[in-house]
């Protein structure tokens, strides 16, 4: 059942990405426009998704589940970073970053909420927060090759972390918010999937499709991100008592997402091959339409 819903949702997201590609090819989205949409997504939409996920009735059971989701996220990232380092080392910096980090915010959250409902985003926030923490510390060192580029300040001032802190406060304190506020947050949060996919469609429009599908190297590292990382993550989860639970499946969806868009952003920022990074993001996103349902089918059979 989960696999079927996930397949339907990935096809819908792929169709939205094609819309972004078409709009870009027709000149309706410019480079500046894509940057503006990215800012709207990062600074308004994703924070509202996180806030909405925390606006639920408090219970000690949910609090324990939140702690468990954080623990599972740490284990999942230990697995992905290990796979990335063992296969790429420091010789292939972009590839190391690409294999280690998936698109948990742009793609993971929409998929999880589509499959498990809006409240499920509650359990992806830990994963997204750790992703931001690791990208701005470990990830920057890997992709730049310089320890001095590490930026701890960016970890604590980014919108994901701030909205998580506010969200936890709302969850614990349980203030009564006006309907106007909760309704506005809900409407903004609903734009997450559409905006994220249109932006990825814009990226795809800037890549030569013939070269994208002909480069064996792109397939190799995309396969590491889409198949090897989630397979290793599942195997690492198996000995733990929490392996057969909904939170584990939710985390696996986030762990199996395609290469993070931040791979291209950091590659450009630190004078790496930006075009190759964009190609990784685009190809892995296209391939994930097939790999995400396969990974979840594998996970359901092993963890059921």
Closest CA to 139 of 273, 282, 267: 267
Percent of all residues in the chain with a pLDDT value above 70, rounded to a whole number = 98
- Write the DSSP symbol of residue 120: G
| Burial of residue 94, with CB atoms counted within 10 A of its CB: 0-12 exposed, 13-18 middle, 19 or more buried | buried
Report DSSP letters for 207-240, one per residue: S-HHHHHH-HHHHHHHHIIIIIHHHHHHHHHTTS
Q: How would residue 62 be classed by pLDDT, with cut points 50, 70 and 90?
A: confident
Return the pLDDT at 304.
Answer: 65
Contact 285, 224 (CB under 8 A): no
Burial 65-76 (b: 16+ CB within 10 A, else e): bbebbeebbebb
> What is the set of domains in the chain, with CATH numbers?
2-303 (1.20.1530)
Here the tokens at position 29 are 């989205």
Q: What's the predicted TM-score (pTM) here?
A: 0.85
Return the pLDDT at 74.
Answer: 93
Q: How would residue 10 be classed by pLDDT, with cut points 50, 70 and 90?
A: confident
How does pLDDT run across 228-268, given as a tens digit for each residue?
Answer: 999 999 999 988 888 788 888 889 999 999 999 889 878 87
CA 212 to chain centre: 22
Checking if the pLDDT of 177 tops 70, the result is yes
| Mean of all residue pLDDT scores within the chain | 87
Q: Residue 258: what are its φ and ψ, rounded to 5°?
A: -65, 175
- Write the DSSP symbol of residue 272: S
Return the pLDDT at 54.
Answer: 86
- Report d(CA 75, CA 86) in Å as an integer: 17
The average pLDDT across 163-185 equals: 93
């Amino acid at each position: 059942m989960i696999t079927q819903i996930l397949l339907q949702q990935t096809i819908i997201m792929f169709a939205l990405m094609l819309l972004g590609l078409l709009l870009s090819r027709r000149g309706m989205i410019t480079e500046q426009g894509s940057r503006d949409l990215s800012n709207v997504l990062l600074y308004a939409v994703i924070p509202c998704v996180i806030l909405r996920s925390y606006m639920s009735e408090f219970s000690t059971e949910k609090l324990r589940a939140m702690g468990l989701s954080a623990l599972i996220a740490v284990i999942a990232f230990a697995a992905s970073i290990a796979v990335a380092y063992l296969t790429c080392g420091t010789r292939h910096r972009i590839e190391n970053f690409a294999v280690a980090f998936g698109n948990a915010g742009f793609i993971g959250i929409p998929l999880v909420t589509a499959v498990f409902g809006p409240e499920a985003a509650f359990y992806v926030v830990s994963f997204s927060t750790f992703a931001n923490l690791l990208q701005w510390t470990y990830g920057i060192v890997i992709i730049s090759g310089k320890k001095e580029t590490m930026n701890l300040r960016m970890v604590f001032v980014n919108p994901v972390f701030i909205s998580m802190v506010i969200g936890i406060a709302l969850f614990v304190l349980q203030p009564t918010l006006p309907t106007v506020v909760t309704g506005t947050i809900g409407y903004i949060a609903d734009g997450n999937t559409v905006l994220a996919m249109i932006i990825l469609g814009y990226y795809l429009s800037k890549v030569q499709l013939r070269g994208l599908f002909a480069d064996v190297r792109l397939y190799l590292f995309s396969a590491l991100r889409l198949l090897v990382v989630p397979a290793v993550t599942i195997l690492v989860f198996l000995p733990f008592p929490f392996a057969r639970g909904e939170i584990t499946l939710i985390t696996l969806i986030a762990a199996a997402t395609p290469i993070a868009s931040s791979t291209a952003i950091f590659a450009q920022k630190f004078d790496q091959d930006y075009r190759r990074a964009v190609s990784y993001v685009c190809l892995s996103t296209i391939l994930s339409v097939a790999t995400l349902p396969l990974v979840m089918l594998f996970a359901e059979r092993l963890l059921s």
